[in-house]
């Protein structure tokens, strides 16, 4: 009985989170504060949140705390710097007359457990310099690397995954 009450409580929380996120997206998309637009927005976000709030739990999103938000913002800043670096890196390789590439496929390991965390890690690896994710299976990621610096599993993990994983590990702890 107690467990059931707990589930209901988290259901309501998920519903409120989802409703809030959807409503903010609606406001940004319409960029209008006319009362008719806002009423339609509330109505649509309410219906969508009613249908989807159970899936929100299945995604395995963690409970939100201040520390996690700070780490997530730091993670986004690191990601953004890496994206810019990635672009200049690939642009350099493409423009260089000798094409300085040394491509290869390596395996790296991750300690993250949740599917959503692994998805975020794989996506950020794809956005960083010279690496992208081919496949994930359990705790292994298959990575294509445009300029292989290390074939060893542990070393490759350190170079490719570590800078994101240390933030994600806190966020999804």
Partner 1 sequence: MELFGEIITGIGVLFLLLGNFGILRLPDVYNRIQAGTKCTTLGALLTIIGVGILQPAWFWKCLLIAVFILVTNPISSHAIARASRKIGVPLCDRTVVDKSKNFKGFKKQEKK
The residue ranges that bind partner 1 (CB under 8 A) are 25, 28-29, 31, 83-84, 86-87, 89-91, 93-95, 99, 101-107, 122-123, 126-127, 129-130, 132-138, 140, 142, 144, 146, 148, 151
Q: Report the residue number, 3 or 152, with the smaller CB distance to partner 1.
A: 152
Nearest distance in Å: CB 91, partner 1: 5
Nearest distance in Å: CB 88, partner 1: 9
Residue 119 and residue 64: Cα distance in Å, rounded?
Answer: 19
Burial class (CB in 10 A: 0-12, 13-18, 19+), 165: buried
Q: Report the residue number, 13 or 52, with the smaller CB distance to partner 1.
A: 52
How many CB atoms are closer than 10 A to CB 47? Answer: 12
Nearest distance in Å: CB 126, partner 1: 4
The residues near 27 (Cβ < 8 Å, ≥ 6 apart) are 33, 38, 41
Nearest distance in Å: CB 131, partner 1: 8
Element (H, E) at 62: none
């Amino acid at each position: 009985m107690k467990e059931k009450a707990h589930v209901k409580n988290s259901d309501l929380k998920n519903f409120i989170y989802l409703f809030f996120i959807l409503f903010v997206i609606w406001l940004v998309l319409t960029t209008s504060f006319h009362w008719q637009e806002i009423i339609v927005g509330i109505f649509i976000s309410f219906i969508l949140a009613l249908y989807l709030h159970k899936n929100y739990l299945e995604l395995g999103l963690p409970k939100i705390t201040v520390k996690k938000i700070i780490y997530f913002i730091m993670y986004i800043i690191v990601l953004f710097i890496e994206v810019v670096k990635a672009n200049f890196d690939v642009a350099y390789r493409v423009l260089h007359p000798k094409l300085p590439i040394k491509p290869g496929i390596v395996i790296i390991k991750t300690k993250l457990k949740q599917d959503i965390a692994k998805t975020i890690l794989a996506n950020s690896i794809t956005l960083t310099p010279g690496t992208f994710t081919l496949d994930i299976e359990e705790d292994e990621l298959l990575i294509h690397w445009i300029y292989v610096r290390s074939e060893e599993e542990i070393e490759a993990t350190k170079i490719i995954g570590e800078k994101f994983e240390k933030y994600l590990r806190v966020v999804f702890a």
